[in-house]
Amino acid sequence: MFKYFEPNKIFAITSKAPKYVLFLFIIVLTIGLTEALILSPEDYKQSDAVRIMYVHVPAAWISLGIFTSLAFLSVGSFVFKNKNFALIAKSLAPSGFIFNIIALVTGSIWGKPTWGTWWAWDARITSMLILALFYGMYLLAWRIYEDKEQVIKVTSLIAILGVVNVPIIKFSVDWWNTLHQPASINILSTNTAIHPSMLVPLGIMTAAFALFSLLIFLMKYNTELIKVKNKGLDRL
């Protein structure tokens, strides 16, 4: 099955896709920003400060999703001995890290008007900071190690160890008393604490952020493939 996803076969698609993804991203982001900043209602308790949710929540979701993907891809590269998995994981990590930083910074900005503090060593916030450290270690390892086999082992280990933190982040608000509010959306049930007038902009912003991470992934993946081909030219 993996032969259909070999870099040589999919490069024709991945090299042309970014311009279409960028176009779609700009359209979806424009709609999302209009909804989030102008059309959506203010919250009865938090007033307009609630609008920070439209960047904070999608960023947190996508950073968690990408790190989980890194762990699965790392296991995949071990099990199937497929280096393309490692290349895909390496290309996903930068956008995951940026989304993690965005979630931390916008969360801190949101914390000031709602909790009265920029930062608290609370379970959810601290576990998100730990995730950022794992992302940092993962990206640093790709820069530090020269040997391909060694770097794949080290980064896989970081991703597999780091993914243990993902359920801790998810359930931290249920397991401990935290400043952070519990989850308002449960994808496994129809019960959601958010009104559709806020849920729709949140969905659109999440789609925009997902498109941005796809765009960065495609550009990064193409860069990595060209690097491999550059080494191939040296060996000719």
Q: Which is nearer to other proteins, 117 or 186 (CB)?
A: 117
69 contacts 90 by C-beta, under 8 angstroms: no
Rounded to the nearest 10 degrees, what angle do helices 196-235 and 83-115 cross at? Answer: 150
Q: Which is nearer to other proteins, 33 or 157 (CB)?
A: 33
Residue 174 binding other proteins, by CB under 8 A: no
Q: Work out the angle at residue 208's Cα, subtended by the Cα atoms of residues 155 and 115, and round it to the nearest 5 degrees.
A: 80
Q: Which is nearer to other proteins, 55 or 73 (CB)?
A: 55
Residue 190, SS3 per DSSP? coil
Closest CA to 53 of 167, 169, 206: 206
What residues have CB less than 8 Å from 163, skipping those under 6 apart?
67, 68, 70, 71
The residue within the footprint of other proteins, chosen from 60, 89, 98, 169 (CB under 8 A), is 98
- Shortest Cβ distance from residue 79 to other proteins (Å)? 26
- Shortest Cβ distance from residue 132 to other proteins (Å)? 13
In the complex, the residues that contact other proteins under the rule CB under 8 A are 7-8, 11-12, 15, 33, 37-38, 42, 47-49, 51-52, 55-56, 59, 94-95, 98, 101-102, 105-106, 109-110, 112-113, 212, 215-216, 219-220, 222-223, 225-227, 229-230, 232-234, 236
